[in-house]
Structure 1
Amino acid sequence: MTRAQQVGVIVGLVIVAILTILRAGDPPLMRQAREVAFDEYQRIVPRAFQDMPVRVIDIDEASLREFGQWPWPRDRMAMLVDRLSGMGASAIAFDILFSEPDRLSPRTVMRDVVGIDPSLLGQLPDNDEIFARSIADKPVVLGFALSNEGHYRPEMKAGFAFTGEPPFHAPPRLDSATPLRPQLAAAAAGIGHISLNPGDPSAVVRTVPLLLSDGEQLYPNLALEALRVAQGASTYVLANAPDVPDTITLIKVGDFVVPVTAAGELWLYVSPDRADRYISARQILAAGGVSPEIAKTIEGSIVFIGTSAAGLQDIRTTSLGRNVPGVSLQAQTVEQILSGRFLSRPDWADGLEILAIAIVGTALVILTTFVSPAMALACGILITALALAASWLAFLYGGLLLDPLAPIISGSITHFSATAFRFLVIDRERREVRAAFGHYLSPSLLYRIEHTQDALRLGGDDRELTVMFVDVRNFTEISERLAPTAVVAFLNTFLDALSRHVIENEGTLDKFIGDSIMAFWNAPVDVKDHAGKAVHAALAMRETLAHLNADDAFGFGNGQTVGIGIGIHTGIACVGNMGAETHFNYSAVGDTVNVAARIETACKDVCFDILVSESTADLAPQYALIEAGALALKGRSTRTRTFAVVGDEGLARSTEFIDLKHAHGQLIEALASRSPAARAALRTAKRKASGLTVDLAEFYRRITRRAEHFPNTAARKDKVGSR
């Protein structure tokens, strides 16, 4: 191990230690990230809705329209209780506060009338008394909420038994509650709190506190109390962890055992909100009575009375990201207990996650230091996948909530830090090579230089290459009318825009020669379909130049545009580092390079912007190609057959191009045989070409002057039909 590697391991282990200590402290940001991950699990696999004997009597907008605005008089609430009780509801729980006298009570209304005889007030009905008489001897549970004022505590209707020391300091704190009307509290069969997430800054309700405590007494929540009353139970039994004071592990209510957090909270496993869960209060209070179907649904059910009306502001957000009435979560709490589908975060979860951070971080530090970054990254991805899979399977099959993010995020930070240290210190020599050559060579060549021994030696290899030359048309005229700085600006814009298509198509930029680009494919590494990629790059250059001209990117104005010629040829060339020992360039030489350069020059005579040789066309038959003639290139004793690149694969399959190719073939045959039918064939080809986006007008205008480029049919290898 080198000294740099030793330092890298030490630095990495220090980072792992810091992350481990940070997780042990469990800051709010980590808790929030963990809870969001658990939310995502529920969204993927929510608790399935089951038709449980639990219903919500919804004081919805339709009910408010029919019976008037809220609050309703309590004699109407008494009617609601009487009808539900008459239908056989096993428990009736109000997710509504009754903390003030009924302002709509006749006795209350008449008390403020001037001159009323006080002796008459006692003869007027009082809605609170009516409501109290209605709920007496019925399975009715009333709710209370936390308050910041006063010292009121409701009287509990149930007892508590403990398997150990009473955990009075485990649940959330109750300092004061909203007072219940005395006659209502005395008549109710149960009293429970309706707070869903007291003290939690998040708007999402993920846990429900089944108990509150003032330090001397425990107070059940509304759903738990409704379940107790429905079973006729009188006592809750609480179990705690051995030798761990002030914790709660289980709550037994009647025949049901509920696993809870140490603070007595139930992790909500939410099901999607369903209309089946709700019955409108309007249907219960209907003047004509309740339908038999609704009565059958109510019979034996635990009924929660609450509101979904937006104006009454009892809307909560669930882990599924949906806004639902608060009373719905009370009902879902009972549904979850009845179904036995619980979520839990075991006491050992924190310890396991802290240990995972330490182990994973240490492993990544060692891997990143001693193996290649790619191998370390692959191992990191594998560890991430395993952590996610373990967490997901624990949730899916065991209802366990294990944090997948803590080891993943900590591992990512460790891997990034160790990789950064390696980059800054251990890989300095490799970085210096990249800094020296990065502006001049393609990424594939850089990779070869970095990873191949003696890559910078002089020499070359014979390889099949596809070579491209790109040149600006009339560059001399352009440079004459521009200042030298403007010429440089023009060339920078032009070369940058077009050369990037070489890199994007896995090519190697050889050099810039004034206003020209030389590039080749299939070196220094093998490139599959190198001829096709070169043709694709040429078509992309054509499109890019059209956009540059349309946007006046060169700043010429007056509608002046720039044209190019592109020549492409495929053949054997020598490619490698060429020059002197102290100054060399990675390049290609040979007849293949010369032919490509001559084809680019021939674009002027043919009056078309992209020409390829027959060898390139044979390797890229999927493109829209038409024969451009057998050209006599400078320095070659034989003619070189060329093809014009009209468009891409999509155009090649189009009906328009197929018709043009057929007409063009007939024109070539007529020119080759010097037939008088050439003129008619030319007119047909021009007409077919006029429907394409590529301008072939000049190409066809010049073609009749190039009859010598199309030798007699008997002397030609006719491959037009196969292209």
Structure 2
Amino acid sequence: MSRAPGGRRARAALRSRTAVLVAAAVLSAALAFTADLLGGLASAERTTVDARFQLRGEDRDRIGPVPIAVVGMDTKSLGEIDEYPLPRRWHARVIDRLVAAGARVVAYDVQFTEPSPSARDDEALLDAVDAAPRIVLAATETDRDGATAVLGGPSMQRDLGVRVGHTGVDRDDDGVVRRFRTARDGLVAFPVVAAELATGRRATAADGSGRWVDLVGPSGSFPRYSLVDVAKGRVPAARLRGRIVVVGATAPSLGDIHATATDAAMPGPELLANAIATTLRGDPIRDAGGAWNVLLTLLAALAAPLVARRRGPVSTVLAAAAAALLLGVVAYGAFLADRVVDVATPALALGLGTLTALAISTAFEAAGRQRTREVFARFVAADVVDDVLAETGRDVRLGGMRTDASVLFCDLRGSTALLERLDPEEGIAVLNRFLAAMSDAVDHHGGTMVGFRGDGLMAVFGAPLAQEDHADRALAAAREMTGPALRGVLAELAADGLETDLRMGVGIASGLVMVGNVGSQRRMEYTAIGDPANVAARLEGMTKDHPHPILLSDATQARLARRDGLTSLGALAVRGRSGTIVAWGADPGP
């Protein structure tokens, strides 16, 4: 069995629409990739990463195998000691206290590159550093060989058994620190040295663009103690034993403050503590890689177009919203699994794909509605087309439905004799005048033209646009046809010198009919099929034998809101039909 022509056209249209939408999706993805390659999405991407850190919040499991604590030169310390820079004897005391408490590593984020005013204090610091089994000191400047002037230079550092690490940071364009390098200017980074001292294993690795600082949480996630309290023995040793203790400036007035993904102002020692924890855990957070980002971007670009190929704008927008939510869930889920996938590029692709899908769908819908409008205009009046389209909405169809309607047949009486005595061209012109007047009457009362039948026509009222008063409309159209419309054409012909005795016969019947398109792919017509159509045709033929030019069925009479001017004709025998039809007669309109 062959497939319906309408189905083939619909499938062809769907294939065309799908091809255009997929092409638009690929273009959207390409534009998003281009924007990413040009660096236009870097800031937005960094913001999404910050959001992931903030959403995750504090996670102490991310500290790693060695606990960490922070000892800060805070406002309390500056107030009690009341000397700045702090004399080195105070730093010596802190180192001695930490060693005595059993700190696993002393990570001292203070630069001792120049002699202090007190040689005695300098000597106390050297003794403290020499006594510390595992200590790392800070530096921010090196020579071309990576050597530093800390404690007098590399020779003294070797004699004391102290290691030096670089504490420099890299800020993104927005001033936020998100990554750290494992080495800078030939010197291993401070967090890497601290982790190596704590574990006894090398922790360096290729830098690339730097390692993500896997923040344990916002500022305050590590135990923090005041430097003066440690120096004076006010912090129990148990709180420091076995820990990597990072010592540094935490008072805002000292300026060692950094913006991070979780904080606008995180003290330097806490940032270092987070970087140490990241290194201890093997730098767990890594970029997912290009393949995953490409896949996410392509899927995001396709989300809306794939829905738009069969659905309308509302469904497309809802699908895009769902895809955006899913993208966020996937990105956050990957982040919890220590992988950073791109969000900004897929989000841009999703947005572009949605906008293009909506634009393309709108264009296809407009074209489809225009084609439907052109088809409808063949059957109904122009002012009815918009009403039909508005009621049927997006799924615009002309047929395939069963509905209660009134069917009208009309025929011109005496036309055969007239046409025999006229030239063919003149005869067709006369016939067209009558048919035009009759079809205008159908349009005027909201009917749908089904087709012309020789010197007559067939119309249906109540389809495709439902009309509760379809019987009244059909009768009103019939009265106009047999009255003013007929008289008007006859008057025009008389004015042209053509006297004729033409009359009009109309039959109307109401009930359930099947309406729809019939025909072939090359030629198709809208029609009404059912018993009311047969009855209307029979009644129209019976007007030849009755004084009333309009005959309507009892079912039509029953559906009329106004029944004035009707004459009951009782049960009439109908040729070619068993039984009788109860009919009513009506006269032409004034």
Provide the rounded CA distance (Å) in 2 between the counterparts of 1:353 and 1:446: 44
Whether the 8 Å contact between 1:91 and 1:302 is mirrored in structure 2 is yes
Provide the rounded CA distance (Å) in 2 between the counterparts of 1:452 and 1:425: 13
Provide the rounded CA distance (Å) in 2 between the counterparts of 1:178 and 1:5: 71
Q: Pick closer, same or farther for the CA change 1:380–1:342 going to 2, 3 Å.
A: same
Alpha-carbon offset, residue 30 of structure 1: 2.0
Provide the rounded CA distance (Å) in 1 between the counterparts of 2:269 and 2:84: 16
The residue aligned with 2:107 is 93
Give the letter for the 1:388 counterpart: G
Alpha-carbon offset, residue 430 of structure 1: 5.0
Alpha-carbon offset, residue 64 of structure 1: 0.5
Confirm whether residue 297 of structure 1 aligns to residue 239 of structure 2: yes
Confirm whether residue 230 of structure 1 aligns to residue 198 of structure 2: yes
Whether the 8 Å contact between 1:192 and 1:220 is mirrored in structure 2 is yes
Provide the rounded CA distance (Å) in 2 between the counterparts of 1:427 and 1:37: 38
Residues 98-113 of structure 1 mapped to structure 2, 5 A cutoff: 98-102=112-116, 104-105=117-118
Q: Which runs of 5+ in 2 are unaligned?
A: 1-11, 374-386, 399-403, 405-467, 478-590
Q: Pick closer, same or farther for the CA change 1:98–1:374 going to 2, 3 Å.
A: same
Q: Which runs of 5+ in 1 are unaligned?
A: 106-124, 156-176, 240-247, 249-260, 435-443, 456-460, 462-572, 582-723
Alpha-carbon offset, residue 362 of structure 1: 4.4
The residue aligned with 2:418 is none
Alpha-carbon offset, residue 302 of structure 1: 1.5
Give the letter for the 2:225 counterpart: I
Whether the 8 Å contact between 2:171 and 2:177 is mirrored in structure 1 is no
Q: Pick closer, same or farther for the CA change 1:300–1:445 going to 2, 3 Å.
A: farther
Residues 138-149 of structure 1 mapped to structure 2, 5 A cutoff: 138=132, 139-146=134-141
Residues 539-550 of structure 1 mapped to structure 2, 5 A cutoff: none
Alpha-carbon offset, residue 310 of structure 1: 1.1
Q: Among residues 106, 129, 132, which one is paired with 1:135 in the alignment?
A: 129
Q: Pick closer, same or farther for the CA change 1:8–1:85 going to 2, 3 Å.
A: same
Q: Among residues 11, 19, 22, which one is paired with 2:31 in the alignment?
A: 19
Whether the 8 Å contact between 2:113 and 2:149 is mirrored in structure 1 is yes
The residue aligned with 2:179 is 207
Residues 598-677 of structure 1 mapped to structure 2, 5 A cutoff: none
Confirm whether residue 279 of structure 1 aligns to residue 279 of structure 2: no
Partner SS state of residue 411, structure 1 = helix
1:461-508: per-residue Cα shift (whole Å, max 9, x none)?
Answer: 9xxxxxxxxxxxxxxxxxxxxxxxxxxxxxxxxxxxxxxxxxxxxxxx
Confirm whether residue 181 of structure 1 aligns to residue 181 of structure 2: no
Alpha-carbon offset, residue 144 of structure 1: 0.9
Q: Among residues 286, 307, 327, which one is paired with 2:269 in the alignment?
A: 327
Provide the rounded CA distance (Å) in 1 between the counterparts of 2:312 and 2:282: 50
Q: Pick closer, same or farther for the CA change 1:355–1:305 going to 2, 3 Å.
A: same
Partner SS state of residue 201, structure 1 = coil
Q: Pick closer, same or farther for the CA change 1:404–1:10 going to 2, 3 Å.
A: closer
Provide the rounded CA distance (Å) in 1 between the counterparts of 2:240 and 2:22: 68
Alpha-carbon offset, residue 65 of structure 1: 0.8
Whether the 8 Å contact between 1:269 and 1:343 is mirrored in structure 2 is no
Provide the rounded CA distance (Å) in 2 between the counterparts of 1:230 and 1:19: 48
Alpha-carbon offset, residue 426 of structure 1: 4.6
Whether the 8 Å contact between 2:303 and 2:350 is mirrored in structure 1 is no
Partner SS state of residue 274, structure 1 = coil
Provide the rounded CA distance (Å) in 2 between the counterparts of 1:82 and 1:55: 16
Alpha-carbon offset, residue 295 of structure 1: 1.6
Partner SS state of residue 92, structure 1 = strand
Confirm whether residue 81 of structure 1 aligns to residue 95 of structure 2: yes
The residue aligned with 1:361 is 301
1:652-705: per-residue Cα shift (whole Å, max 9, x none)?
Answer: xxxxxxxxxxxxxxxxxxxxxxxxxxxxxxxxxxxxxxxxxxxxxxxxxxxxxx
Give the letter for the 2:70 counterpart: V
The residue aligned with 2:287 is 345
Partner SS state of residue 93, structure 1 = strand
Q: Pick closer, same or farther for the CA change 1:17–1:331 going to 2, 3 Å.
A: closer
Provide the rounded CA distance (Å) in 2 between the counterparts of 1:236 and 1:317: 29
Confirm whether residue 377 of structure 1 aligns to residue 391 of structure 2: no
Provide the rounded CA distance (Å) in 2 between the counterparts of 1:350 and 1:377: 28
Whether the 8 Å contact between 1:267 and 1:342 is mirrored in structure 2 is no
Provide the rounded CA distance (Å) in 1 between the counterparts of 2:58 and 2:21: 46
Give the letter for the 2:140 counterpart: A
Alpha-carbon offset, residue 63 of structure 1: 0.6
Q: Among residues 161, 164, 173, which one is paired with 1:191 in the alignment?
A: 164
Number of matched residues? 383
Partner SS state of residue 107, structure 2 = strand
Confirm whether residue 61 of structure 1 aligns to residue 72 of structure 2: no
Q: Among residues 17, 41, 64, which one is paired with 2:52 in the alignment?
A: 41
Provide the rounded CA distance (Å) in 2 between the counterparts of 1:134 and 1:422: 76
Provide the rounded CA distance (Å) in 2 between the counterparts of 1:53 and 1:8: 58
Partner SS state of residue 55, structure 1 = strand
Whether the 8 Å contact between 1:153 and 1:179 is mirrored in structure 2 is no
How many percent of aligned residue pairs carry the same amino acid?
Answer: 21
Provide the rounded CA distance (Å) in 2 between the counterparts of 1:78 and 1:358: 59
Whether the 8 Å contact between 1:4 and 1:425 is mirrored in structure 2 is no
Provide the rounded CA distance (Å) in 1 between the counterparts of 2:216 and 2:264: 10
Higher relative CO (CA 8 A, sep ≥ 6), structure 1 or 2?
A: 2
Which stretch shows the higher mean deviation, 129-138 or 296-305? 129-138
The residue aligned with 1:306 is 248
Partner SS state of residue 427, structure 1 = helix
Q: Pick closer, same or farther for the CA change 1:190–1:361 going to 2, 3 Å.
A: same
Give the letter for the 1:181 counterpart: G
Aligned CA-pair RMSD: 4.3
Q: Pick closer, same or farther for the CA change 1:190–1:179 going to 2, 3 Å.
A: closer
Provide the rounded CA distance (Å) in 1 between the counterparts of 2:78 and 2:388: 75
Q: Which has the larger radius of gyration?
A: 2
Alpha-carbon offset, residue 7 of structure 1: 8.5
Partner SS state of residue 323, structure 2 = helix
1:123-163: per-residue Cα shift (whole Å, max 9, x none)?
Answer: xx35334322331242221111157xxx45444xxxxxxxx
Partner SS state of residue 283, structure 1 = helix
The residue aligned with 1:508 is none
TM normalised by structure 2 equals 0.55
Q: Pick closer, same or farther for the CA change 1:414–1:89 going to 2, 3 Å.
A: same
Confirm whether residue 394 of structure 1 aligns to residue 334 of structure 2: yes
Residues 161-172 of structure 1 mapped to structure 2, 5 A cutoff: none
The residue aligned with 1:660 is none
The residue aligned with 2:483 is none
Whether the 8 Å contact between 1:143 and 1:222 is mirrored in structure 2 is yes
Provide the rounded CA distance (Å) in 2 between the counterparts of 1:54 and 1:383: 41
Whether the 8 Å contact between 2:136 and 2:190 is mirrored in structure 1 is yes
Alpha-carbon offset, residue 390 of structure 1: 2.4
Whether the 8 Å contact between 1:269 and 1:341 is mirrored in structure 2 is no
Confirm whether residue 268 of structure 1 aligns to residue 211 of structure 2: no
Provide the rounded CA distance (Å) in 2 between the counterparts of 1:431 and 1:322: 57
Provide the rounded CA distance (Å) in 2 between the counterparts of 1:34 and 1:270: 21
Give the letter for the 2:241 counterpart: E
Q: Pick closer, same or farther for the CA change 1:238–1:126 going to 2, 3 Å.
A: closer
1:497-532: per-residue Cα shift (whole Å, max 9, x none)?
Answer: xxxxxxxxxxxxxxxxxxxxxxxxxxxxxxxxxxxx
Partner SS state of residue 97, structure 1 = coil
